[in-house]
Structure 1
């Protein structure tokens, strides 16, 4: 599909269009529906928390690279703050979840990084190190944007399980939504200055990491482990 920049179609519209089928599949996934109705087994959520702890360490590194390559000081500061926030989430929120699930942060850290987690973080890190700033931005954006959209959707329905309700509130709250709006606005600005070929390549990165978001939740649902 070829896009032309107009007054009505923004680059973020193009990006979301590329991932819209994946987002619909995420909302319909039994992991997500189980969060809302409270039927998700705690073992599946525990798997998610462990792997998300591993994921966020590398995602924070990816955001730090985005900060280093940012086009202006404000964007550098914003991404550096987001990288620190990802580490804080790994250390604080996930530690609290592990405690509620009868485990500990040390126990989570000792468990192996799963296949999907390894593939996802390897793709993101390879893209932010080797691609353009637009490529890097597109690769990290689905983790921001899809979580915000899922959190917003789930917040309206909440969950009878207090553990899942707390997770939903963390990503549906206005502070996180505002952070995501800032990154989406940046994507519009950088995308508007790129060529169609550059925008197309970045859209592919965005669509790919959006698919990894679906795979991440699916891996938790299946409690994925290495086959050999």
Structure 2
């Protein structure tokens, strides 16, 4: 949690911590359908009616906050300006109502999600919620009220800007352009920044306990905002969540740097160095012994250096031919076959070096349990396994030298039913011999695993959706072979090689909006393998939102 003197600012810190809720809101059926322009008008009318109820409460909360800020003239002026901006929003909504010829705010009562947020906001303004029920100081009521209102402003500004990119590509024919323009315009963006600046200023003298209250209020407001968008009755087929249309899903995922923050090779090398025998330490003759630390360190550094140098040269070789305009699968396959040969030679050097000799299985499992995964990764896999209406097969496909490390990482999160395709250490007792059962060493090996699974599934059920999630060049063949290929992170080499052979990288949210726009009533959503399109995400939260929903 940011402190009151954090140079980033309390408002910015709270927004970053609410990444999951902001992404979930963007991936709701309502926002996706609104963005693509095919949201039914009845649904939009209902939303406007709910938002009118919401905004009237917002104006009332601003008024209460203004009344409580008499001792802070600058805050009083800022709050008054913000209240006037809400009045302008209500006037804009009124213009929509006049176009339709009726008062939707009277004909449509507030739904449960609208009422939950308005009740929360007014209770905060009155100091009558659990976190602040004993606070009677008017100024404190004012700052907590502002904190409960900031998420709404920032989220609408965020959604407005996101939707504006769609409108820019669609020109003036977007049916909801007027609404989108109002929330993406500089005036609204400035209003969102203004209330955040006000929150930062009001937070300067707060104690740690008071900042914790701020965090709880902000997070609760974000959750209620997300539920507000989820509650809009979208009476049409939507591309999200995927699990609604596809009850059978086969999910493939890479492990290193897709699921993890660090490469498993580094983790295993660290275990070897941490447990390497000290000089003069004796072992029974029958025991497999590890390499001394100095030799181990030098050997590992030499292997890493050689790998990096040869990899750089290989990238140049893969790009020697001219860049193609259209997706060229055969050329991509040939280039990645070169990478496959390279990876197998590198693995051979590792086993011959014996740096992995003598590692204890218990140390490996313990490291797996402590392995830090990407934010939202474990939540996603837990959600997939527990989803009541989703029959999902999970396959982890990895170059990792030691499958036990991966199994331990997932089992620590309660995931026991995923199918692992990786290399395995060969042990004598609990100690590794330094040799590896080589099962998945290259991009071609990964593709073979995927094709074998798909062949088996196609014989049983041709309706299953296939999704592959990866982060590196080694995943490219699988990414384009799956129905939906998703890249997490921003590997420049992946984009360079993929782009060279005509692979198109599209942000997932934008791609879903385009897919929703293509939809014709009465038909399903088509996803084509080997289309050359790969979707990109910044985090697992986006993948979770797309497949499982909020």
Give ranges in structure 2 of 5+ residues lacking alignment: 133-139, 236-550
Residue 63 of structure 2 corresponds to residue 64 of structure 1: yes
Name 1:167's counterpart in structure 2. Answer: 179
Name 1:179's counterpart in structure 2. Answer: 191
Give the TM-score, by structure 2 length.
0.38
Give 1 or 2: higher helix fraction: 1
Distance in 1, matches of 2:3 and 2:150, equals 21
Give ranges in structure 1 of 5+ residues lacking alignment: 224-228
In the TM superposition, what whole-angstrom CA distance separates every residue of 1:152-181 from its partner, at most 9, and x where no partner exists? 121122175544111110011011111111
Q: Given the superposition, is the C-alpha separation of residues 13 and 78 from structure 1 closer, same or farther in structure 2, using an over 3 Å criterion?
A: closer
Distance in 2, matches of 1:96 and 1:162, equals 18
Q: C-alpha displacement at 1:187, in angstroms? A: 1.5
Secondary structure of 1:185 counterpart: helix
Residue 207 of structure 2 corresponds to residue 209 of structure 1: no
- The 8 Å contact of residues 54 and 109 in structure 1, kept in 2 or not, is answered as no
- The 8 Å contact of residues 2 and 9 in structure 2, kept in 1 or not, is answered as no
Q: C-alpha displacement at 1:40, in angstroms? A: 1.3
Which structure's CA Rg is the greater one? 2
In the TM superposition, what whole-angstrom CA distance separates every residue of 1:64-115 from its partner, at most 9, and x where no partner exists? 111122352232122123223323422x211222234x3422x432321211
Q: C-alpha displacement at 1:198, in angstroms? A: 0.5
How large is the Cα RMSD of the aligned pairs? 2.1
Q: C-alpha displacement at 1:5, in angstroms? A: 5.2
Residue 102 of structure 2 corresponds to residue 104 of structure 1: yes
Give the TM-score, by structure 1 length.
0.87
- The 8 Å contact of residues 157 and 188 in structure 2, kept in 1 or not, is answered as yes
Name 1:79's counterpart in structure 2. Answer: 79
Name 2:50's counterpart in structure 1. Answer: 51
Secondary structure of 2:212 counterpart: helix
Name 1:23's counterpart in structure 2. Answer: 22
Distance in 2, matches of 1:158 and 1:149, equals 15
Instruction: Say which structure, 1 or 2, has more relative contact order (CA 8 Å, 6+ apart).
Output: 1
- The 8 Å contact of residues 2 and 10 in structure 2, kept in 1 or not, is answered as no
Q: C-alpha displacement at 1:3, in angstroms? A: 4.0
Q: C-alpha displacement at 1:194, in angstroms? A: 0.4
Name 2:159's counterpart in structure 1. Answer: 150
Distance in 2, matches of 1:134 and 1:54, equals 23
Corresponding pairs, count: 219
Distance in 1, matches of 2:198 and 2:94, equals 32
